[in-house]
Structure 1
């Protein structure tokens, strides 16, 4: 299905796609207590380890002199950061894989707090077999967006409309809870079992714990994604955003640990809270690794020429804007605005209050106060501003 990466650039893109998916799947495994999602994280980690081995080998082979070897330190620095992100995602997934504790009441609230990430295997005689994603129109028919397809040991990240589904394919999709069973029905899979009922008194301030976990998930996705983007675009502004997000992760880590300590006396079994401590620590480690990845970009340090070729500067730039009330963007979806077509700008992330939404999709509706981070041509940034901000009056212009 996919071709093996052949050079440093391809390996970095592969690592980017894999680690972003690992972050999403790891949190989803915890939120929805899905061991099969945790297993997919393990598979992705094995693949990533092999690609990082090749990346390190290429880096060493490219060093022709002591000066080259010193310059290649940047490549190895990036590889180490990628590995740390993968390790942190695996640590989160192991909360489920090794049955560390997590309160059932908290999971019940998490199940409804965010979009679901689902793993669906295409069964024999399923309606989707032999049909392309374009033909199936899954986002329209089910609300679910396919993030990746695994066929045996091969992966297709961010599959396109012409990808055709086959029996045995494993779909990793994201969308509303009600869309999961619709997708499972099309894939010939049985519906999800109902979540267990409540059999223990609720813990105090449970809503705050849910809020922290959801924010940690969103923030981790945004931090990892923006770190890679800062490398791919060699953009210091994006690297600075990663630093700000990493600082926020420290605060959330402290808050979640504090909540666990306060909740322990009320818990039926304090051991049920162990998973939260693991999750808080791994989330912060992930954000720390993403911050480390951006060091060379943030400090304007040159990378080795082989990396500069792989991550060569494009004509694209990053842009930041805030949606203001009454503007064309306020209350409209990204699909309606056709931002990529009309402005050439691709929205990397949206900050809404304390929450971050990384790579928002077409149905995502913008609201007054949303902060957008996008990449694209310089003139596209001005057009994006025109859609999101109130035009100055003639007096202000004068």
Structure 2
């Protein structure tokens, strides 16, 4: 079996812009960024040098080892472009504009079985509402290089009817979506924040909902309703195609805003009969930061990686069937780190790998106070079910990483530079 000695392989010639040292606040002789990156097994390239802000991005690996990356890029005082690049065999496409929006929510990308990419985001119109330039669930399908067609699966809360007057009222759907494909059928999970104004009425009463089908015909359903319990479901969503080719997801509870501090890890999955299990709390977490990460492997089953921001403790737990879960396995807890975990299984050795951000040696450091001389992007791997070993991806750090595997077992990570917002891709040769 391959074991990670992390020896530097031959450099992979990417078609996107090679990383150019030094960076403004690092990469100098003071912090040895360039020296450390020279010892990393990853090749790093810049996908978008105009990223500008720390806004969400998404990554998916499709048939034929196509790698799709989507992100937000500010273009003027009020507008953001949603952009996309497809990378394959060391070459990246020209950045493609999917949509221009004023409201930034989550972002998700997936490939169907035919290798067609789709990106889900908060889009559509404002429905004559105040303060929400976009308020619908949008899914854009890629027809070919530079060509996208947008569809709107959901516009209002009552399209996933529950019979509860509060749950069925409102216009703000499509918050922080997640998307997966079973063949060419899409499953898109999203948060319904009703009228997007008040804590108890809209955020504590938020619902987790799902649209399935596409691109021209959709069925909608409510998966977890908060109208009676004030649970704030659907805060941050991570979804995979799991056992039996059925979707499964995790989400957390956000009760004070559209996209605020989340707590706890809630698991749900679709059964072979087409019904969904009830929301089940599988882990108590006081602050999930930007939510847990869910992955699935044909041998290992489901895995969850999550950091508790209150303690900077990154953990992993697993389940063969989605019903019985292991105890949380500590992965990393040193300083302010373990942040923004992204979990994926090695398709060759069936071992879990978690990309995460180390901000500072100071455990009290906040998201705006990371140490440029210390911050790093790393991946921890659980080797032969015995120990976690981590490897350096980028000594200049990496905000909001998204990890994927090629069919060969090589890893790819999309992320942002923590100081500049530049979008990068790291590839294991």
TM range (shorter): under 0.3
Report the structure number with the largest CA radius of gyration. Answer: 1
Higher relative contact order (CA 8 A, sep 6+): 1
Higher helix share goes to which structure? Answer: 1
Whose strand proportion is higher, 1 or 2?
2
TM-score (norm 1): 0.25
